[in-house]
């Protein structure tokens, strides 16, 4: 649910004659309509989800036009003629707030990340909402991909983000998005998937106390589970399972609505671990075939404020350059390049995924 809420704002054109990111505020329905496109989506020519084009509109800085609390979202994908297309064409959309940090790392706060498997979600608007302030800067990074064998032209992604105006007396609780990735602390988040069973983990401590209210995950085909544990207490907090007709056809991931039991307490002196597990049935390595991230909603304890980012922190700067696609690659290579030089220039629009 609201696997990392977020928001695009502005009607801001991207570079050149390519796609644009635009916002229309439907005040009558209290919905932000965000469009990304148009995009050209070449057909996949690979097998077993191993080779298809990923399309990356340039990362864009936008501003929030009005103070609000986000509580739900949906999305749709259409072609140039307005026909609905498979939702699978969305790989993910990420929105980062560079002025605040993540819960488990001193990197820019990921306000919003949605993939196909999150689907349409909503939480009780009278109870929970993610606050945004007027004029708040956000960085928009999107990836579309086409795992089908049909090409599509003029593709537009539309996000429908439901909000409550900040002038209302609700919601009762301010919640914030958080995430934890097995590929932390920085760099490309996908990893090669060897044949047979395989697991990968990452551990960290939170910067502030509070309660996890919602938790969900993002996986790739052949995943068997993703787990979030309190290592210090020796306790499994949540385990997500893939949803699909077969191991190679991922349709979604089970979700934990922890607010139904008043959330799960998270403490800064405890260590937490995310672990993703796969079982690759092929006899070969699938390049960049694995990924594992958990995220959701976090309720800070008492009057605790969401922590600000330190823009002088080395990891913060490295991660931000990677987020903006000024540096690409795995963490070790990123770190070497970061220490060796400053990278300028525009990333290519189309990659292989």
Q: Phi-psi region for residue 351, left (φ > 0), alpha (ψ -120 to 50) or beta?
A: beta
Q: Does 8 have pLDDT greater than 80?
A: no
Residue span(s) of the chain under CATH 2.60.120.230 come to: 180-300
The CATH number of 180-300 is 2.60.120.230
The pLDDT of 279-293, averaged and rounded, is 95
Q: Does 287 have pLDDT greater than 90?
A: yes
User: 12-174, which class in CATH?
Assistant: mainly beta
Q: Name the phi and psi angles at 322, rounded to 5.
A: -70, -40
In tens, the pLDDT along 142-201 reads 888 888 889 999 999 888 889 999 999 999 999 999 999 999 999 999 999 999 999 999
Q: Indicate the SS3 state at residue 329.
A: coil
Q: Which two tokens stand for residue 291?
A: 């990924």
User: What pLDDT does 148 receive?
Assistant: 85
Q: Which range, of 91-95, 101-105, 179-183, 307-311, averages the lowest pLDDT?
A: 91-95
Q: Name the phi and psi angles at 86, rounded to 5.
A: -55, 135
User: What pLDDT does 218 receive?
Assistant: 87
Q: Phi-psi region for residue 82, left (φ > 0), alpha (ψ -120 to 50) or beta?
A: left
User: Band of the pLDDT at 10, cuts 50, 70, 90?
Assistant: very low
Nearest to residue 41, comparing CAs of 127, 131, 111, 142? Answer: 142
User: Band of the pLDDT at 83, cuts 50, 70, 90?
Assistant: very high
The predicted model scores a pTM of 0.80
Please tell me the distance from the alpha carbon of residue 46 to that of residue 34, in angstroms, as a whole number. 31
On average, the pLDDT of the chain sits at 84
Exposure string over 97-134, b if 16+ CB within 10 A, otherwise e: bbebbbbbbbbbbbbbbbbbbbbebebebeebbbbbee
User: Band of the pLDDT at 47, cuts 50, 70, 90?
Assistant: low
Q: Does 248 have pLDDT greater than 90?
A: no
The pLDDT of 104-110, averaged and rounded, is 96
Nearest to residue 57, comparing CAs of 94, 86, 88? Answer: 94
């Amino acid at each position: 649910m609201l696997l990392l809420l977020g928001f695009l704002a502005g009607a801001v054109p991207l570079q050149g004659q390519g796609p644009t990111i635009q916002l229309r505020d439907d005040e009558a329905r209290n919905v932000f309509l965000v469009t990304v496109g148009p995009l050209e989506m070449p057909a996949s020519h690979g097998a077993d989800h191993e080779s298809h084009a990923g399309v990356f509109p340039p990362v864009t800085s936008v501003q929030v036009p009005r103070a609000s609390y986000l509580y739900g979202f949906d999305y749709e994908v259409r072609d140039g003629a307005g026909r609905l297309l498979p939702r699978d064409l969305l790989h993910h959309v990420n929105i980062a707030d560079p002025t605040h940090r993540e819960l488990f790392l001193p990197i820019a706060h990921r306000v919003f990340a949605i993939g196909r498997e999150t689907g349409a979600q909503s939480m009780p608007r009278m109870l929970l909402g993610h606050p945004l302030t007027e004029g708040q800067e956000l960085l928009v990074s999107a990836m579309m991909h086409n795992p089908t064998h049909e090409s599509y032209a003029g593709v537009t992604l539309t996000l429908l983000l439901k909000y409550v105006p900040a002038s209302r007396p609700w919601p009762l609780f301010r919640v914030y998005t958080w995430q934890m990735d097995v590929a932390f602390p920085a760099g490309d988040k996908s990893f090669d998937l060897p044949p047979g069973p395989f697991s990968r983990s990452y551990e960290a401590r939170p910067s502030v106390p509070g309660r996890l209210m919602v938790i969900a995950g993002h996986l790739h085909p052949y995943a068997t589970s993703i787990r979030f544990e309190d290592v210090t207490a020796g306790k499994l907090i949540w385990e997500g399972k893939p949803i699909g007709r077969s191991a190679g056809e991922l349709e979604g991931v089970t979700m934990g609505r922890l607010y139904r039991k008043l959330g799960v307490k998270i403490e800064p002196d405890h260590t937490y671990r995310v672990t993703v597990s796969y079982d690759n049935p092929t006899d070969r390595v699938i390049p960049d075939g694995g990924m594992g991230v958990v995220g959701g909603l976090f309720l800070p304890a008492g009057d605790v404020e969401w922590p600000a980012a330190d823009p002088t922190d080395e990891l913060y700067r490295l991660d931000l350059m990677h987020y903006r696609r000024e540096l690409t690659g795995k963490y070790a290579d990123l770190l070497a390049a970061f220490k060796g030089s400053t990278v300028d220039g525009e990333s290519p629009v189309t990659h292989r995924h």
